[in-house]
Chain A
Amino acid sequence: MKAIAAALAVCASFLAVSVVLAQTQNSVKPPAAAAPKYDPAIYAELQKAPEKARNRANPLQNDADAVAAGAILFEQHCAECHGHSAEGSRKAPSLLVPEVQNATPGTLFWLLTNGVVRKKMPVWSKLPEPRRWQLVRYIKSLGSAAPAAESPAHKP
């Protein structure tokens, strides 16, 4: 009986902490993410995309709303780890670097679908295919928005 009571007490504390921290997190604006250390090896997973997947074209390439919809999806599902401007954080790498921006839409779609589960990137196949393609459109659109200097690879 004591063990059950202890387990319940721990659980209640767990919940209390979660709520308090959620309130704290949300009442304070998140600080600017610390600049992530650039490590090209992080992006090695992109090279593992099979050729067939790499060559897939984005069926929403000409969809006028895809970027706007992708931006909302990014904010809802990706920004927590990759940063609100996809600049990266300690949790996940920048998506503004050439390795990502020069990757084919099919490669990015493949990575979103499969995740990198051993390195904390979840599988996103829970999002239907069209939504993943919308995300790809948005991520690729960041390449034209981001100045070349933002790419750590180009830093001296």
Chain B
Amino acid sequence: MAPLHRLVLIGSFFLFVLSIFSPPPALAQENPYIVAYDHYLEEPGNLEIEYFSTLGTQRGGNNFHAFWVEFEYGATAWWTTELYLEGQTTFNDSTVFTGFRWENRLRPLKREHFINPVLYVEYENKNGADKILKEGEGHDVESDFLVSNAQARKEHIHEIELKLILSSTFKGWNFTENTLAAKDLSNSPWEFGYALGASRPFALKASAKRCTLCPQNFVAGVEMYGGLGDRHSFGLHHTSHYLAPALAWNLPSGWTLRISPGFGLNDNSHRFLMRWGVSREITGFGSMVSRLFGGRK
């Protein structure tokens, strides 16, 4: 891994750990999804810093640990923008920085409806060693991951990814459906994918006392995601699919912990993925930056 990339990754990690010691901001109320998106955007002016890991098993090759950091900022109540930095370690091979992504989510409707659409636009600048499995798309299958890091990182990918997120909340349940279309900016066909999710907090009412382990702080759910082929061969043939129960614990201190074991549903999928993540929301980040540059309090 290039020294600069290593420095930035290590620096980000230590800064992230440092933020542990900043006193409590607002309580996050996050769903447990790691791949699927619901229609809730970041509150305006808030910054959420997130770290995620994916530990993947690999048949015929080395297992891997992929990781990424997200900086999610609520630009307005209808627009959230997000920057990702990602890397991976393939056991018995090497650790590589695999690229960055810039994601935007836009809420076109002013009010809450039974089904709430959100438009998602993302630019990805990554290399072929990317293994974070943040989405299922096209004909991506387990055997693609057999290539060594040295070889895979030679491939540069500039990709635009579009999603239509349709999400509903009913009697405490959240149901979400994401349809994905991605286009490598080289001469590759459009690829498609999907993600589905359902989740519910353990308790719908809040407790009258502050508590860490009470049921209201836990949200359980399940998500399913996979590829749908490309423009030339749309469908389930030669695609991978996963089913993943997920659990989120929203701590009163402002931290959210997530864990999600994922199971491959066919022979093209990794047999098992173990994902976990930790995130923290910094409220009023936009105002703080504004004050730094002489803006109004």
Show the binding face of A for B, using Cβ within 8 Å. 4-5, 7-9, 11-12, 14-19, 21-27, 31, 34, 60, 65, 68-70, 72-73, 76-77, 80, 90-91, 113-123, 125-131, 134
* Chain A residues within an 8 Å CB radius of B216: 131
Q: Is the CB of B40 within 8 A of A123?
A: yes
- Given contacts A76-B27, A129-B204, 13 further A-B pairs with CB under 8 A are A8-B5, A12-B11, A15-B16, A15-B49, A18-B282, A21-B288, A23-B21, A69-B205, A69-B207, A115-B112, A117-B110, A122-B74, A128-B205
Q: Is the CB of B77 within 8 A of A130?
A: no
Q: Is the CB of A114 within 8 A of B111?
A: yes
Q: Is the CB of B204 within 8 A of A16?
A: no
Stretch in B177-185, B187-195, B289-297 with 4+ CB within 8 Å of A? B289-297
* Chain B residues within an 8 Å CB radius of A72: 206-210
Instruction: Please give the distance in Å from B268's CB to the nearest CB on chain A.
Output: 31
Q: Is the CB of A5 within 8 A of B201?
A: no
Q: How far is the CA of A58 from the CA of B49 in the complex (A)?
A: 36
* Chain A residues within an 8 Å CB radius of B38: 126
Q: Is the CB of A131 within 8 A of B100?
A: no
* Chain B residues within an 8 Å CB radius of A91: 45, 287
A-B residue pair count with CB separations less than 8 angstroms? 152
Q: How far is the CA of A145 from the CA of B8 in the complex (A)?
A: 51
Decide: A34 near B297, CB < 8 A? Known: A115-B77, A126-B40.
yes
In the complex, what residue of chain A is closest to B30 when comparing beta carbons? A126
Q: How far is the CA of A115 from the CA of B109 in the complex (A)?
A: 11
Instruction: Please give the distance in Å from B126's CB to the nearest CB on chain A.
Output: 10
Decide: A118 near B110, CB < 8 A? Known: A21-B292, A80-B283, A128-B204.
yes
Which applies to chain B's interface (DSSP): helix, strand, loop or mixed? loop
Instruction: Please give the distance in Å from A129's CB to the nearest CB on chain B.
Output: 7
Q: Is the CB of A14 within 8 A of B71?
A: yes
Q: Is the CB of A23 within 8 A of B15?
A: no
In the complex, what residue of chain B is closest to A27 when comparing beta carbons? B23
Q: Is the CB of B208 within 8 A of A69?
A: yes
In the complex, what residue of chain B is closest to A134 when comparing beta carbons? B206
In the complex, what residue of chain A is closest to B205 when comparing beta carbons? A130
B85 interfacial contact with A, CB 8 Å: yes
Q: How far is the CA of A18 from the CA of B280 in the complex (A)?
A: 12
Q: Is the CB of B8 within 8 A of A11?
A: yes
Q: Is the CB of B292 within 8 A of A17?
A: yes
Instruction: Please give the distance in Å from B253's CB to the nearest CB on chain A.
Output: 11
Decide: A113 near B207, CB < 8 A? Known: A19-B22, A90-B296.
no
- Per a CB cutoff under 8 Å, which of B22, B83, B287, B288 touches A11? B83
* Chain A residues within an 8 Å CB radius of B49: 15, 18
In the complex, what residue of chain B is closest to A115 when comparing beta carbons? B77
Top-7 shortest CB links A-B? A65-B208, A68-B208, A76-B27, A26-B23, A128-B204, A117-B77, A21-B288
B62 interfacial contact with A, CB 8 Å: no
In the complex, what residue of chain B is closest to A21 when comparing beta carbons? B288
